[in-house]
Amino acid sequence: MLLASIAVNNYPMLHLEDKVSFALQCMEDYDVFQLPLVKEDYYIGLVNKEDVLDLDENQTMAALADQLSRVALPHSAHFTAALNLFAKHQLSLLPILNEHQECVGVIPQKNLNEQLAQFLGVDLPGAIIVVSISPYQYSLAELSRLVETNNAQIIQLNTHFEEANGALVITFKLNKEEASAIIATLQRYNYQVLHYFGNTPL
């Protein structure tokens, strides 16, 4: 899913001649802590509420233009690229730019959360299993085969490394709620089952 498909353009953009009081009112009205600053449509940077609070309400956005961060992403980026920026910069929205560096819209936090929920399939029924294994033993083909031999399929999967022990932790969702046979199979193949969320308790 590209950012262009979830960007919205019904949020205000600030201009150099806009006053601090106007910027604060816009942030209040739209319940955000940032807004993009543009010159015509060209993106200058992201105005943070905390930055304008230090200014006189009659000053204009031009007073901030040279010190703003240009946090943004191209409209052709995958939506997951936005997750890191939202966390790193504590964003309430993220500007989206076209190939000419023009701000064509923003991604509000709410829209990103909704897209992430859809991406992770949180509304789909099915058991969730969390296992741990050595990275050198991990094979997606093998894991899929072990699940499929028990008449199930993996419909969503994520991995991350545990820095403390170097293990690979795999979280995956099945297309069925009952998974006791799958868990038994995984344990026979040296997968350590860390957590299970489904109809059948361990």
Rounded to whole angstroms, the Cα distance separating 40 from 26 reads: 18
For 38-69, how does the pLDDT look when each residue is reduced to its tens digit (9 = 90+)?
Answer: 999 999 999 999 989 988 989 999 999 888 99
Q: Is the pLDDT of residue 200 over 60?
A: no
**pTM across the whole model:** 0.77
Q: Identify whether the C-beta of residue 41 lies closer than 8 Å to the C-beta of residue 16.
A: no
Token pair listed for 107 = 């991604």
pLDDT reported for residue 202: 46
The better pLDDT of the pair 11, 117 is held by 11
> What dihedral do alpha carbons 83, 195, 128, 77 form, nearest 10°?
20
Task: Give the pLDDT score at 197.
Answer: 92
Q: How far apart are CA 127 and CA 147, in angstroms?
A: 12
pLDDT at 23 over 50: yes
Tokens 């969730």 map to which residue? 128
From CA 94, how far away is CA 19, in angstroms rounded? Answer: 22
User: DSSP alpha helices (H): ranges in the chain?
Assistant: 20-30, 49-52, 81-89, 109-120, 140-148, 180-188
124-141 per-position pLDDT tens digit: 899 999 999 999 999 999
Q: Quick: pLDDT tens for 175-199.
A: 999 999 999 999 999 999 999 998 7
pLDDT, one tens digit per residue, over 139-166 is 999 999 999 999 999 999 999 999 888 8
Beta partners for residue 159, in sequence order = 170
Mean pLDDT, all residues of the chain:
92
**Burial bucket for residue 105 (CB in 10 Å: 0-12, 13-18, 19+):** buried
How far is residue 78's CA from residue 168's CA, in Å, rounded to a whole number? 25
pLDDT of residue 163: 84
Q: What is the DSSP-derived secondary structure letter of residue 57?
A: T
Least trusted range by pLDDT, from 17-21, 32-36, 79-83, 166-170: 79-83
Q: How many beta carbons lie within 10 A of that of residue 193, not counting itself?
A: 16
pLDDT (0 to 100) of residue 182:
95
Whether residue 201 is predicted with pLDDT greater than 60 in this model: the reply is no
Largest CA distance in the chain: 70
Which structure tokens are listed for 87?
């966390």
Adjacent-strand bridge partners of 106: 8, 95
